[in-house]
Amino acid sequence: MKQTRRDVIKTTVGALVGYTLQSDYKMSKIQEQMHGEMDSNQLLANCWMHSGGTTPFRGAHGQREWSPLSLERRAQQLSNAGFSAIGLYHSDIENQINNNFDASNRRESLQQMKTVLEDNGINYVMLEFLVNWILDEDDPRREAERETRELLLETADILGADHIKIGNINGYPREVGDIRRKFADISDEFAQVDTQVGLEFFPVDPNINTIADAMEITEGIDNGGLYLDLWHNVKMDIDFNEIANLSSGDVVGAEFQDGYIDTNMSFIEETINLRKIPGEGEFPISDWISATRESGFDEPFALEILSEEYRRLSIEVAYQKAHDGGSQFL
């Protein structure tokens, strides 16, 4: 049987326990250092949280999807603020390779990126985002995303990414059985690089309205599961009891922020401009985190903060405010 990266980590840590460890503290520190074996008391800096003036949805407000800041500067400041886990977006990865590393050798550039992260104590990586995986193979929109998919596979392999987010943010209507088959296919693909696939679901997705709907797609799929986002869970009126009743392994990743229950803004406008630092809004953060942990989830919680107000802050102030705000709920 092929050993996965997690198998190797567990074996290595077990050996270290037998020969050298003298305390639980040492054990936890070694686990943290070896491919992100961390728990839900840690925070992950989502790509939009650390990108500095960048927003999702290409062309929204004329904003770019890649950060003008070097990965090295961001990693240093994230480490200073207390983060040891990071999320990276495909456009940002590509921009870093082309402008801050050796664009002629992608693998070498990714190795250098890994070194930058590790030198700053960041050992747990999440990647995003694929949207057209849900379409048929002969659909030109899916073909147009092929290079992004290949980039994320290679990045996952070299950086040792724990998981990748995918979803149906474009709201394509599809038959559930077909979505499940495609989700299984992409989960198998990323299993080759020992990276789990998390299905994020949105209010604009016509195929998913409840946790049960999402589980019809992911349940029983090797190397795949749900990716929970408090923002979307609140906006979809998801019952947190459904989250709590999930089983260990059902949830691949989870992210939170604060916000307001009801606004008059459009989905896109609210999504990119009104996601607040935890503690500055009215979301039931503690209840959601408790429910997510009750499901058996024990990985770092990601912070996804998107607002015009937040983007105006210097990264030194922004990262620290985000970490302090998120930490109070863990």
| Cβ atoms 147, 116 nearer than 8 A | no
Q: To the nearest whole percent, how much of the chain has pLDDT over 70?
A: 87
User: Does the pLDDT at position 6 exceed 80?
Assistant: no
CATH number belonging to domain 38-327: 3.20.20.150
Q: What is the DSSP string of 282-325?
A: ---HHHHHHHHHHTT--SPEEE---BHHHHTS-HHHHHHHHHHH
Q: How sure is the predictor about 56, in pLDDT bands with cuts at 50, 70 and 90?
A: confident
As a whole number, mean pLDDT of residues 158-187 equals 97
| Cβ atoms 159, 117 nearer than 8 A | yes
Taking the complete model, does pTM exceed 0.85, yes or no? yes
State the alpha helices, DSSP H only, in 120-256.
Answer: 140-144, 146-159, 176-191, 211-218, 230-235, 240-244
Q: What is the mean pLDDT of the chain?
A: 88
- Interatomic CA distance for residues 326 and 330, integer angstroms: 7
Structure-token pair, residue 263: 């606004």
Q: How sure is the predictor about 117, in pLDDT bands with cuts at 50, 70 and 90?
A: very high
As a whole number, mean pLDDT of residues 81-86 equals 98
User: Does the pLDDT at position 39 exceed 60?
Assistant: yes
| Cβ atoms 43, 83 nearer than 8 A | yes
Mention every residue, 6+ apart, whose C-beta is less than 8 A from residue 38. 31, 32, 84, 85, 123, 124, 299, 300
Q: Any idea where the domains of the chain sit in the sequence?
A: 1-34, 38-327
Helix (H, G, I), strand (E, B) or coil at 54: coil
Going from the C-alpha of 89 to that of each of 37, 120, 236, 241, the distances in angstroms are: 21, 19, 24, 31
- Interatomic CA distance for residues 121 and 13, integer angstroms: 18
Q: How many CB atoms lie within 10 A of CB 253?
A: 27
Mention every residue, 6+ apart, whose C-beta is less than 8 A from residue 177. none
pLDDT for the residue 72: 97
As a whole number, mean pLDDT of residues 197-205 equals 97
Give the residue carrying structure tokens 């003036």: 53
pLDDT for the residue 9: 42
Query: Residue 304 is which amino acid?
Result: E
For helices 146-159 and 176-191, the axis angle rounded to 10 degrees is 40
For helices 71-81 and 90-100, the axis angle rounded to 10 degrees is 120
Which of 196-200, 264-268, 296-300, 313-317 has the least mean pLDDT?
264-268
210-233 core/surface letters (b: 16 or more CB in 10 A; e: else): ebeebbebbeebebbbbbbbbbbb
Which of 45-54, 83-92, 139-148 has the least mean pLDDT?
45-54
Q: Positive or negative, the Cα torsion across 268, 274, 277, 282? A: negative
- Interatomic CA distance for residues 45 and 86, integer angstroms: 5
